[in-house]
Structure 1
Amino acid sequence: MDDRPFLVADVGGTNTRVGLARGRDVDPRSVRRYANREFANLGPVLRRYRDETGGPSPKGACIAMAGPVADGVAHLTNLDWSIDITALIEATDAGSGAILNDLQAQGHALGHLASGSVRTVCDGPRREAAPRLVIGVGTGFNAVSVYDAPSGRIVPASEAGHANLPIRTEAELRLCTHLSTAHGFAAVEDVLSGRGLERVYHWLALEAGASDERRAADIMADLDTDPRARAALRLFVSMLGRVAGNLALIHLPFGGIVLVGGVARAVSGHLREMGFIDSFRDKGRFAGFMTNFAIDVVEDDFAALTGCAAHLTDIAAQTDGSE
């Protein structure tokens, strides 16, 4: 029996975390964080980790990349990085390799996270074996469906953050025009991300004849003292509810909706007071239907790593016919 660990990595727009896992269990002591700006590409990050930690070659390696993945090639959206299976195996000396979009990894993690790391935002029915929906809000935005089929878990890739921003009010139309002027296209991610919250704050300042700009962390820290910060978060939360509601109608996740990502965790305590549930259910004659969806938030920062480990474990089980 091959008892070597898996190597797993979560590649974000700013940092990359790399660790080791035994089966679906990630060893938190093995996890190291690397600043992407210090490396030319992902390969050198993975080689640095192997050089620093030593040990036997991993029996498998899986990365979760914050960007599109197609035909075994991943491209990081917010940095000029790319990697394919061959390069992944060469960098890690692993016996096999797999590449996932970061939200796909979060989908593979469902059911394998500690119960205390999942908190309910909006209760509702949860149908066993029904599709689920994972919505990620962090450096960027994305959403994926999760299906548990007889042949195994299926998590199709998606790039939902680059869809058009849904507009309902005159003020939102002005925001959309502002974003289109600055970026050429007003996408969901332009508002529903850490940088998006900063853009909303700056736009509100411009609307008031000022030009203030603030970091997302500072906006969140000053909600009690800065009325503009509260207004920015309220618009952000309202838009998040509307987009999540649209995605729920598209995918019908009767197994539940799960919010993940650093920004989702940061705003989760303000969702109810800022009108998230009202916006989520604001679908006219379908408002009652929207009560069919429970919504949770994942507070485990290593969830994508767990998802990578679970994916490799499932592949190994399918290969050797055992769990």
Structure 2
Amino acid sequence: MPSHETADPVFPILIGDIGGTNARFSILTDATAAPMELPNIRTAEFPTIDDAIRQDVFQKTDIRPRSAILAVAGPIQGDEIPLTNCPWVVRPKQMIAALGLEDVMVVNDFEAQALAIATLGEDDREALGPMNASPTASRVVLGPGTGLGVAGLVYAQGRWFPIPGEGGHVDIGPRSARDYAIFPHIETIEGRVAGEQILCGRGLVHLYTAICIADGVTPKFTDPKDVTEHAEAGSDAQAMETVDLFVTYLARLAGDLALIFMAKGGVFLAGGIPQKIMHALRQPQFRAAFEDKAPHTEMMKTISTFVVTHPRAALAGLAAYARAPSDFGLATRGRRWTTR
């Protein structure tokens, strides 16, 4: 262990999407069965992922998985895999020994989102703007939630290849006069304003606070839910502008990623926040900011944008891979541990 064998994971397979705040699990008993869904787990309620699986997976079913495929929010290097926004550390060798598994595979959480956008149907997404997506052209998925995840998806040799990365940490900067008034007050990381400093839950609060400071107003909210709810109700001017600018900045970054990947297969918004601000995303400002990429504005108008509406998209993507691994070019080297 880790193994580079090409043998597929054996059923039943435990599928997990481990985020900074929530962990979601399902069990796939065979390649044709629908996944057995399990309740969401709050990561803060368990000291380790092994404890969470023992107490909130194994105690909920008599089915004992032989394999596990886990998507985690963080880079995968070595036998100990820390999560970016959660104190859990995934230790595949320990999981095999302690949980009776034969095979553990760990992928980036946005690789799982990329697998999802390769396989989800039209009922699991909502279009924002024109529907021009080419079925086998490159795609991009980005997701503001606890953090900001980004992945690409490329079709080649009859298979989809997910491309993981840390695109949520690229620089993001001001353009308008209003931006220049607000950005000096945004909390930085060693002097940088990265995408994740604005385009995630805590980033929404950073943006709201910066707007309040720029306006000479004392901030009232420290929870992103309060900001979005008061914006939706129209009861707080700074909260309303926060959501408007959040949508604009998200669109700008989505447009940048569309250019990088030439994503004529579409740009997909996943994560926990887009579904909570659908009203704002449906307004013309999202597409206007997305398309505002001179000298390529006309080309940007042809690139479709979507919100992923499937409630467990990452699990659906992992399940699609588990059923037919050969349909995807998912790298396993250094990321799969097995006793077989």
Q: TM-score, normalised by structure 1?
A: 0.88
> 2-side partners of 1:138 and 1:110: how far apart?
17
**Match for 2:133: what amino acid?**
R
1:53 is matched with which residue? Answer: 60
Q: Which residue number corresponds to residue 187 of structure 1?
A: 194
Residue aligning to 1:80: 87
Match of 2:239 in 1: 229
Cα distance in 1 between the residues matched to 2:134 and 2:188: 44
Query: CA contact under 8 A between 1:72 and 1:99: conserved in structure 2?
Result: no
Question: Compared with structure 1, are the counterparts of its residues 16 and 120 closer, same or farther at alpha carbon in structure 2 (3 Å cutoff)?
Answer: same
SS of structure 2 residue aligned to 1:68: coil
The answer to whether structure 1 residue 217 and structure 2 residue 225 are counterparts is: yes
Structure 1 residue runs of 4 or more that deviate by more than 4 Å after TM superposition = 180-184
Relative to 1, partners in 2 of residues 1:236 and 1:302: Cα closer, same or farther, differing over 3 Å?
same
RMSD over aligned Cα atoms: 2.5
Q: Distance in 2 between matches of 1:47 and 1:63?
A: 15
CA 1:165–1:100: 2 relative to 1, 3 Å: same
Shift of 1:293: 0.8
SS at match of 2:87: coil
Asked whether 1:258 is paired with 2:244, we answer: no
Structure 2: stretches of 5+ with no match in the other structure = 1-8, 329-340
- Find the partner of 1:31 among 33, 38, 49: 38
Q: Tell me: CA distance 1:113–1:31, structure 2 relative to 1, closer, same or farther (3 Å).
A: farther
Map of 2:317 onto structure 1? 307
Change (3 A) 1:119 1:307: same
Out of 199, 207, 221, the position equivalent to 1:200 is: 207
Matched residue SS, 1:222: helix
Indicate whether 1:147 and 2:154 are aligned: yes
Residue deviations 1:40-72, cap 9 Å, x none? 222221222343134343232111112222356
Aligned residue number for residue 108 of structure 1: 115
Partner amino acid, structure 1, of 2:210: W
Contact 2:50/2:95 (8 A) holds in 1? yes
Distance change in 2, residues 1:148/1:99 (3 Å): same
How far apart are the structure 1 equivalents of 2:164 and 2:171? 18
The TM-score normalised by the length of structure 2 is 0.84
Give 2:168's aligned residue.
Answer: 161
Q: Where does residue 178 of structure 1 map in the other structure?
A: 185
Report the AA paired with residue 69 of structure 2. C
Identity of aligned residues (%): 28
Question: Residues 120 and 173 (structure 1 numbering): CA distance in 2 closer, same or farther, change over 3 Å?
Answer: same
Deviation (angstroms), 1:201: 1.1
Deviates more, 1:30-39 or 1:229-238: 30-39
Number of matched residues?
A: 316
For 2:207 and 2:227, how far apart are their aligned partners in 1? 11
The answer to whether the 8 Å contact 1:76/1:82 transfers is yes
**Can you give the 5+ residue segments of structure 1 that lack an aligned partner in the other structure?**
319-323
- CA displacement at 1:174 relative to structure 2: 4.4
Which one of the candidate residues 284, 287, 296 is aligned to 1:277? 287
Give the CA deviation at 1:290: 0.5
Greater shift in the superposed pair: 8-17 or 244-253: 8-17
| Pairwise CA distance, 1:114 | 4.7
SS of residue paired to 1:284: coil
Which is richer in helix? 1
When residues 70 and 170 of structure 1 are mapped into structure 2, their CA distance, relative to the original with a 3 A threshold, is farther
DSSP 3-state at the match of 2:93 = helix
**What is the deviation of 1:25?**
5.9
Moved more, 234-243 or 183-192: 183-192
Q: What does the per-residue CA deviation read over 1:126-146, in whole Å, with 9 as the maximum and x for residues that have no partner?
A: 222111111111111121111
1:269 Cα offset (Å)? 2.4
1:24 shift after superposition? 7.3
More off after superposition, 165-174 vs 30-39 = 165-174
Q: Does 1:120 align with 2:127?
A: yes
Shift of 1:282: 0.8
